[in-house]
Amino acid sequence: MSTNKSNEWVPLAAGGYNRVYVNVKSGLVFKSAHNPELDTDTPERSVRLWNILNPYLHPKAQLSTIMIDGAKVYGWTCPYVRNQYNKQPSSLNYLSWVKTDRTAYKQALQDLETRKEEDQAIVASLIDIYNRTGRVIVDAAVPGNFVTIEPGKAICIDIGMALLLEKQETDCLNAYTSRKSDVSNMTWTAVHTDIYTRILQDKNSPFPETVLMTKALLFIRAYRPDIRNIDFLKKSKSCIEQLANAYDAESDTAHDNGIELLDQKRPVNLISIKKACTEKLLGYIHSRGTLDQGNMFQASWITKFFRNTLLTQLKIDSAQLLIKKINNAQSINEIKTAVVEASEPRLLKKGFNSNFSTVLGLCKVISQIPPSASPELSYRSRSQSQ
């Protein structure tokens, strides 16, 4: 997409990563990175992640070049999403201050209710995103990062931190894949427990339920990345609080309680590890094309025109063989061995940052999760084993 009508694009905001312009007439927002050489927030990655996080929005995000002050600017566009609430939520301090003014007090109460509704909508969106993608929006509680478009439905419009977490996860998993041995999950865990503590520890956040949910999801992602369906959190605030407390890890007991809760909801065993690894590998295959009834791979048009089709076919063959080995495995150790054997240099040297490398790394992490009811369930035992 390209346009020379620079007068239609007006500045909207400037974040830490992007300059943002809006074209009200077309209903689009244009974003351009401050530093084009920073690979964390490239237009290509941003377009891909936006469309993954917001599949219900149209038009889809896409790469774009527009004219700003007579110069061509490269970036990407996405829909201009408006918040259904016009007012910013009021604080509790403000509510106390206006008690002497009945009209202002009534408005403050409405603003507090608005804040609660937005908070609940963001929480619902976080669950939906995790169920579909396994991703955590770590700064979801920052005002303005999510927009409520209708009651109970919020949209993530700032994906900068999601891109950063994705890069950190990818770097970690690719490093795991390159090792021809078992790996420790300690680095993977640290990626999720060390990130953005300033926001998650903010006791005055306008969205406290979102903060709790974010912590709960980061704990799940750090210690149980095999879990994809978290619907059990929808009707249990106590579960969310228990996992959030486990994430804060102020004591071994709190951490162990979180691990025990997840083991109760989603037990870890040979069958569950087989299922989780198979799902990850099939996800990679389907990102490159489709499988027919005979399990023959048919490349997508994107794969045919923009990827090395020979290398992709080799990776698909390796993924299918690994799925077969995993399904035939009689023990978790057999799964670990099969994953290590699949990490062939010839498949990684030309596409080390590919999805296949990342998926193999994630399968390694999943195969290292101690089975339920194991002595390794304790926090100290897990830490030592990692």
The mean predicted confidence, pLDDT, of the chain is: 84
**pLDDT average, residue stretch 16-42:** 79
Per-residue pLDDT band at 351 (split at 50, 70, 90): very low
pLDDT digits (tens, 9 = 90+) for 99-127: 444 454 455 445 667 789 999 999 999 99
Name the residue among 229, 224, 233, 231 with its Cα closest to residue 262. 224
The pLDDT value recorded for residue 359 is: 96
Round to whole Å and give the CA distance between 364 and 281.
Answer: 12
The pLDDT value recorded for residue 368 is: 93
The pLDDT value recorded for residue 202 is: 77
pLDDT digits (tens, 9 = 90+) for 354-376: 789 999 999 999 999 999 865 44
The pLDDT value recorded for residue 75 is: 93
In the chain, domain spans: 2-79, 92-156, 270-367
pLDDT digits (tens, 9 = 90+) for 134-179: 999 999 999 889 999 888 899 999 998 899 899 999 999 999 988 8
User: By the 8 A CB rule, do 23 and 9 touch?
Assistant: yes
Between 373 and 2, residue with greater pLDDT? 373
Least confident of 175-189, 257-271, 314-328: 175-189
Percent of the chain with pLDDT over 90: 56
Q: Please determine, for residue 197, whether its predicted confidence score (pLDDT) is greater than 70.
A: no
pLDDT digits (tens, 9 = 90+) for 334-343: 999 999 999 8
User: By the 8 A CB rule, do 27 and 14 touch?
Assistant: no
The pLDDT value recorded for residue 357 is: 92
Whole-model pTM: value is 0.85
pLDDT digits (tens, 9 = 90+) for 294-307: 889 999 998 999 88
The pLDDT value recorded for residue 112 is: 67
N- to C-terminal Cα separation, the chain: 48
* DSSP string computed for 225-288: TT----GGGTT-HHHHHHHHHHHHTSSHHHHHHHHHHHHHHS--SHHHHHHHHHHHHHHHHHHH
The pLDDT value recorded for residue 121 is: 95
Name the residue among 275, 266, 258, 248 with its Cα closest to residue 363. 275
**pLDDT average, residue stretch 225-245:** 95
Percent of the chain with pLDDT over 70: 80
Close Cβ partners of 294 (under 8 Å, ≥ 6 residues apart):
none
**What's the fold here for domain 2-79?**
Phosphorylase Kinase; domain 1 (3.30.200)
pLDDT digits (tens, 9 = 90+) for 58-87: 999 999 999 888 889 999 999 998 877 654
The pLDDT value recorded for residue 88 is: 45
